[in-house]
């Protein structure tokens, strides 16, 4: 009997947390998104808020743009992170290796806000890079590098880097050097060994890293707003706008739900394509 009591004592906080803060709020948000506002205090159930999304090009353009930019940012992050992770996991030795890995982690102990602030100082018209370009003679006048898509991309990639490097280093680290040696021994060259041995081995890390990075980009608010300015057209901004500025919570909930569906769909597809599951991909995240 005593053991059963203990079991319920452990179960209760979990259920309170999951139902009170995750499941019920999402269900409530879904129902709210189905409410059409007819007048003050007068609502009816309809798909009007979703119809509004599809009828207004600004909305679904922003939505598509956010998705595409996030996928792009994920791919760029992967391309930049892979060689570095490989270097840390396989080429760097002993102490240097530990130092490099720690250096990779350190910036991410600092708030995203501070990091983005740093990019603003670097890239704005009166910023460090602009001065550098003028000083070297590459530019004749101050250059504004903020408030465009490339800048948003730089910020997103920067912010996401950790979540790609850690799983990549972890999986690459578990690659036995003997497999690479065997690849060469059997006549492979650098490229074929990379394609047929290293990348397949690193696949779980690539997938889990990409999923997390994509998610973070999609849900990011800070970086697009601060680095992209008014022209950022990020979907989270639309949600914020509906909730806080226009106080149209029904529409905002519909947007939130659409974003949730998109992110879940991409996560699910990513896991499906590589035959992994959420428990193994995310569950291992606890190790880091």
Partner 1 sequence: MIPSIHQNPLLRGIYIAYVALFFIYLAAPLLVVAAFAFNDSLFPSLPWNGFTLDWFFNPTEPRLGLFHETPILKSIGISLLVAFWVTVLAVTVGTSSAFLFEREDFPFKNVLYLLMLMPLVVPGIILGISILVLSSNVANFVEELTGYDIEPLRPGLTLVILGQFSFIATISTLVISARLKKFDITLEEAALNLGATRWSAVWTITIPYLAPAMVGAGIVAFLMSFENFNTTLMLSGSDAPLTITMFDRLKEGSTPVLNAVSLLLMLASSVLALISIMMQRERKE
Indicate the burial class of 231 (C-beta count within 10 angstroms; 0-12, 13-18, 19 or more). Answer: exposed
CB of 212 to partner 1, least distance (A): 8
Q: Does 168 bind partner 1 (CB under 8 A)?
A: no
- HSE on the CB side for 166, CA within 13 Å? 18
Q: Does 80 bind partner 1 (CB under 8 A)?
A: yes
CA distance 124 to 145: 6
CA distance 232 to 220: 12
Structure tokens at 6: 């203990």
CA distances from 233 to 5, 117, 174, 178 (A): 52, 20, 41, 49
Q: Does 128 bind partner 1 (CB under 8 A)?
A: yes
State which residue, 51 or 83, has the beta carbon closest to partner 1.
83
State which residue, 29 or 52, has the beta carbon closest to partner 1.
29
- HSE on the CB side for 130, CA within 13 Å? 15
State which residue, 166 or 180, has the beta carbon closest to partner 1.
180
Structure tokens at 90: 């396989």
Residues 220-279 that bind partner 1 (CB under 8 A): 220-222, 225-226, 236, 239-240, 243-244, 249, 252-253, 256, 259-260, 263-264, 267, 278-279
Query: Would you give the binding string for partner 1 spanning residues 187-216, x where CB under 8 A is met?
Result: ---x--xx---x------------xx--x-
State which residue, 54 or 117, has the beta carbon closest to partner 1.
117
CB of 163 to partner 1, least distance (A): 11
Structure tokens at 183: 């690849």
Look at the block and give the residue holding tokens 């909930």: 253
CB of 101 to partner 1, least distance (A): 10
Residues 5-64 that bind partner 1 (CB under 8 A): 7, 9-11, 13-14, 17-18, 21-26, 28-29, 32
**Single residue of 43, 64, 144, 285 touching partner 1 by CB under 8 A:** 285
CB of 161 to partner 1, least distance (A): 7
Q: Does 161 bind partner 1 (CB under 8 A)?
A: yes
Q: Which of 227, 248, 228 is nearest to 239 (CA)?
A: 248
Which part of the chain contacts partner 1 (CB under 8 A), choosing from 4-12, 38-46, 52-60, 145-153?
4-12
Q: Which of 285, 242, 247 is nearest to 52 (CA)?
A: 242
Which part of the chain contacts partner 1 (CB under 8 A), choosing from 43-51, 56-64, 71-79, 116-124?
116-124
CB of 60 to partner 1, least distance (A): 18
CB atoms within 10 A of CB 146: 19
CA distance 207 to 213: 10
């Amino acid at each position: 009997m005593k053991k059963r009591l203990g079991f319920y004592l452990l179960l209760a906080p979990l259920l309170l947390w999951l139902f009170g803060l995750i499941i019920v709020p999402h269900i409530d948000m879904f129902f709210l998104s189905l409410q059409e506002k007819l007048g003050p205090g007068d609502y009816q159930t309809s798909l009007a808020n979703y119809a509004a999304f599809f009828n207004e090009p600004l909305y679904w353009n922003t939505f598509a743009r956010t998705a595409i930019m996030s996928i792009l940012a994920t791919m760029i992050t992967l391309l930049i992170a892979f060689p570095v992770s490989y270097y840390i996991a396989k080429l760097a030795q002993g102490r240097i290796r530990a130092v490099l890995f720690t250096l990779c982690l350190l910036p991410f102990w600092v708030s995203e806000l501070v990091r983005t602030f740093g990019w603003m100082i670097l890239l704005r018209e009166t910023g460090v890079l602009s001065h550098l370009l003028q000083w070297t003679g590459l530019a004749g006048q101050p250059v504004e590098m903020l408030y465009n898509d490339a800048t948003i991309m730089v910020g997103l990639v920067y912010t996401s880097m950790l979540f790609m490097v850690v799983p990549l280093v972890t999986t690459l680290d578990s690659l036995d050097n003997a497999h690479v040696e065997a690849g060469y021994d059997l006549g492979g060259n650098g490229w074929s060994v990379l394609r047929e041995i290293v990348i397949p081995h690193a696949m779980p890390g690539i997938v889990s890293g990409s999923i997390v990075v994509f998610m973070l980009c999609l849900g990011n608010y800070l970086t697009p707003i601060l680095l992209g300015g008014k022209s950022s057209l990020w979907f989270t901004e639309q949600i914020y706008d509906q909730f806080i500025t226009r106080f149209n919570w029904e529409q905002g909930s519909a947007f939130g739900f659409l974003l949730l569906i998109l992110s879940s769909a991409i996560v699910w597809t990513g896991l499906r394509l590589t035959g992994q599951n959420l428990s193994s991909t995310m569950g291992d995240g606890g190790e880091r």
